[in-house]
């Protein structure tokens, strides 16, 4: 994952979507003051600039940033908001000046205009020119300050944004993140596990990554000797390197934060209400490597632009309070059914790829729970098969549509994180559906409250979709099992259909004036032991319900009973898979009745 994040980060940086290495673009505090520099004077200007700035991961220690920092560092201002003085202002300002002096002494400083401007800056600080400005008393210690020359080749440029200042800041951060003693001359160098180049290796990555609702955490860190077998002695994790260079570690963290900050590139899969930072919280981050647009039918799509094609719709829970205006799983399925080819004749679909990582907050770092990397050819076929498998008619007979992974997890009521990751593997790698999915779906389908309460119809829909996925993923029957299939001759499926027919007869006989039907009492028994249950139900229907419902239902009962006879009669017991088929038969037949009633109402007929 690190390698692909670094590749993505470099692409985003070239496109101007990411700040440079060592910079952070989401500071909560803006640059509030600009010190305009001339050779012999300065001018303070109030501002409100949210600029990407150097970032060192500073918490409570004293660490200066290059040429832009809080006023306590940059100007030696001690005044705090609400009164009081910053007791460490002298040490902070000294650290800032030492950093500027180190930059001036750096061999990589070649721009004479920048060197001259730095002399103006140091002279202004040494001679007290900044303090003489009438606006100086307004500055607070926590206010960010930047320096901008107003004459010469660099006029109007924030000094910290100069390419040589950016380069020196990377060198400085490499020094600060060395796992050994920062004061020693020798550095720990080795082959970076990501880029493969021999570089100084870091002991920490300053920039943490932010999951939704979480505090920033390292993307990679070591907090126990068990992870540092390449060192001898005790407490080796405190002085061990991470195996990556600073540029790769920082680029991966910046790219990760870019993905999480975008609604098109991440989805929350599960959330643990009891432990906000526990492993039960899972977030999926994903992106597409698309070297060129793709021709899909008569359209040309940029698959890397997830505002055009939102693969996250496969993960999104459909019952979100404010669903985003993004592609639905149904639209994605239609897209996947069409032929694709690169718009560039020199490319193949195998040159494109889909990446997805599932991460959780953990003590000390972000934990990677799942990593999926698949070519676009395989991804397209796997996702199409998955969406075909979860496509099913609604409980009220609405046209079949595929459900998202989030909808399945929510409807099944499971907090098992392995279920969500298993569904991801099924959707994107073609793996078999999680084995527990069938049991979860059957449990929901036989729940009397869910079967009867219209408010729980969404859960019923999810359970039926999960059962269909478990039974027919990747099989020929998957498409026709999206709705009622009168040609399917499974005894369990026919028994489920028969129970729905008997319920419909009861409803019609009572003119639909019933709060509860026979399903509430008999579904569990009928779905596990049909032979022992249906005899009494059929006798009741024959004497009390069917005579009052007309010819249609009586013929339907006869047809299903005839098919059951051909299938060997009522089974004595049903296995778990057969109970799932029973549930689908009941679900399909009931949905067909409800769709028929709606059509009759729309046409002005009767129920």
Q: Per-residue pLDDT for 80 more than 80?
A: yes
Instruction: Over range 99-117, report the average pLDDT.
Output: 97
Which of 255-264, 275-284, 522-531 is modeled with the greatest confidence? 522-531
Whether 300 and 343 have beta carbons less than 8 Å apart is answered as yes
Pairing of strands 144-149, 31-37: parallel
Eight-class DSSP state of 135: T
Q: Are 253 and 209 in contact (CB under 8 A)?
A: yes
Q: Contacts by 232-238 with C-beta closer than 8 Å and gap 24+?
A: none
Under the banding of pLDDT at 50, 70 and 90, the label for residue 321 is very low
Task: Tell me if 355 sits within 8 A of 373, measured CB to CB.
Answer: yes
Widest distance between CA atoms in the chain: 107
Tell me: pLDDT of 497 over 50.
yes
Domain boundaries in the chain? Answer: 17-176, 262-481, 488-602
Which pLDDT score, from 0 to 100, does residue 276 have? 66
pLDDT averaged over every residue in the chain:
89
CA dist 266 → 280, 283, 355, 403 (Å): 17, 7, 12, 18
Rounded Cα distance between 271 and 312, Å, is 17
Q: Give the Cα separation of 476 and 483 in Å (integer).
A: 14
pLDDT in tens, 359-411: 988 877 788 889 999 999 999 999 999 999 999 999 999 999 999 998 999 99
Token look-up 């979480």 returns 214
430 vs 230, residue with greater confidence: 430
Is pLDDT at 602 greater than 50 in this prediction? yes
pTM summary value: 0.84
Alpha carbons 406 and 414: distance in angstroms, whole number? 11
Angstrom distances, CA of residue 461 to CA of 196, 458, 464, 470 = 50, 5, 5, 14
In sequence order, what are the residues at sequence separation of 6 or more whose Cβ sits closer than 8 angstroms to the Cβ of residue 85? 78, 79
- Confirm if 222 and 237 have CB atoms less than 8 A apart: yes
Q: Say which range, 98-112, 113-127, 168-182, 496-510, has the weakest mean pLDDT.
A: 168-182
The pLDDT score that the predictor gives to residue 411 is 93
Q: In a 10 Å sphere around its CB, with 0-12 CB exposed, 13-18 middle and 19+ buried, how is residue 554 labelled?
A: middle
CA gap 198, 247 in Å, rounded = 12
Reported as a single tens digit per residue, the pLDDT across 406-452 is 899 999 998 888 899 999 999 999 999 999 999 999 999 999 889 88
Whether residue 118 has pLDDT greater than 80: yes
> Which pLDDT score, from 0 to 100, does residue 566 have?
94
Assess whether pLDDT exceeds 60 at residue 176. yes
| Residue 468 scores a pLDDT above 90 | yes
Q: Is 32 helix (H, G, I), strand (E, B) or coil?
A: strand
Helices (H), 314-416: 329-336, 376-389, 405-412
Model confidence pLDDT, tens digit, residues 299-312: 888 877 766 677 88
DSSP state string for 281-317? -EEEEEEEE-SS-EEETTEEE-TT-TTTS-GGGGT--
Give residue 189's pLDDT: 85
Instruction: Answer whether residue 184 shows pLDDT above 60.
Output: no
Cβ atoms of 284 and 267 within 8 Å: the answer is yes
For 218-260, the DSSP string reads: -SS---SGGG-TTS-SSSGGGT---SSBHHHHHHHHHHHHHHH
């Amino acid at each position: 994952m690190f390698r692909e994040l670094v590749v993505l980060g470099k692409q985003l940086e070239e496109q101007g979507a990411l700040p440079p290495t060592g910079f952070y673009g989401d500071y909560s505090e803006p640059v509030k003051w600009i010190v305009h520099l001339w050779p012999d004077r300065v001018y303070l200007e109030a501002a409100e600039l949210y600029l990407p700035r150097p970032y060192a991961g500073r918490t409570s220690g004293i660490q200066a940033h290059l040429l832009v920092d809080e006023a306590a560092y940059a100007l030696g201002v001690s005044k705090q908001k609400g009164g009081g003085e910053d007791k460490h202002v002298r040490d902070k300002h000294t650290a800032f000046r030492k950093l500027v002096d180190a930059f001036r002494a750096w061999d990589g400083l070649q721009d004479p205009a920048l060197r001259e401007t730095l002399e103006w800056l140091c002279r202004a600080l040494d001679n007290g020119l900044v303090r003489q400005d009438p606006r100086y008393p307004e500055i607070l210690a926590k206010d960010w300050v930047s320096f901008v020359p107003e004459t010469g080749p660099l006029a109007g440029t924030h000094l910290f944004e100069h390419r040589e200042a950016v380069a020196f800041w990377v060198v400085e951060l490499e020094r600060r993140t060395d796992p050994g003693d920062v004061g020693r001359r020798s550095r720990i160098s080795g082959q970076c596990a990501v880029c493969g180049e021999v570089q100084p290796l870091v002991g920490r990555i300053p920039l943490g990554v932010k999951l939704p609702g979480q505090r920033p955490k390292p993307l990679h860190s070591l907090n126990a000797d068990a992870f540092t077998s390449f060192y001898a002695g005790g407490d080796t994790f405190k002085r061990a390197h991470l195996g990556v260079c600073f540029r790769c570690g920082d680029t991966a963290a910046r790219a990760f934060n870019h993905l999480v900050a975008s609604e098109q590139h991440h989805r929350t899969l599960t959330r643990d209400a009891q432990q906000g930072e526990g492993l039960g919280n899972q977030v999926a981050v994903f992106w597409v490597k698309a070297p060129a647009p793709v021709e899909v039918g008569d359209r040309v799509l940029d698959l890397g632009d997830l505002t055009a094609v939102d693969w996250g719709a496969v993960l999104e829970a459909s019952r979100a309070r404010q669903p985003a205006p993004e592609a639905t799983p149904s639209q994605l399925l239609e897209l996947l059914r069409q032929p694709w080819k690169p718009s560039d004749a020199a490319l193949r679909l195998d040159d494109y790829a889909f990446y997805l990582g599932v991460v959780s907050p953990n003590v000390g770092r972000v934990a990677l729970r799942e990593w999926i990397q698949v070519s676009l050819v395989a991804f397209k076929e796997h996702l199409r098969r998955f969406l075909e498998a979860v496509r099913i008619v609604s409980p009220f007979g609405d046209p079949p549509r595929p459900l998202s992974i989030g909808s399945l997890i929510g409807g099944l009521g499971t907090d098992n994180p392995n279920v969500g990751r298993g569904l991801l593997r099924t959707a994107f790698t073609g793996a078999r559906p999680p084995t527990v999915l069938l049991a979860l779906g059957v449990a929901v389908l036989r729940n009397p409250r869910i079967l009867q309460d219209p408010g729980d119809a969404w859960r019923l829909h999810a359970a039926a979709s999960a059962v269909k996925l478990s039974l027919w993923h990747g099989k020929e029957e998957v498409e026709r099992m999206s709705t009622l299939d009168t040609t399917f001759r499974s005894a369990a499926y026919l028994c489920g259909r028969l129970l729905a027919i008997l319920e419909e007869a009861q409803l019609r006989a009572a003119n639909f004036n019933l709060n509860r039907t026979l399903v509430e009492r008999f579904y569990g028994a009928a779905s596990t032991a049909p032979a022992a249950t249906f005899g009494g139900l059929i006798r009741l229907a024959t004497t009390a319900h069917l005579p009052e419902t007309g010819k249609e239902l009586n013929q339907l009962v006869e047809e299903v009973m005839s098919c059951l006879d051909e299938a060997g009669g009522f089974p004595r017991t049903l296995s778990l898979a057969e109970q799932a088929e029973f549930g689908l038969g009941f679900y399909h037949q009931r949905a067909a009745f409800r769709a028929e009633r709606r059509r009759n109402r729309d046409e002005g007929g009767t129920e």
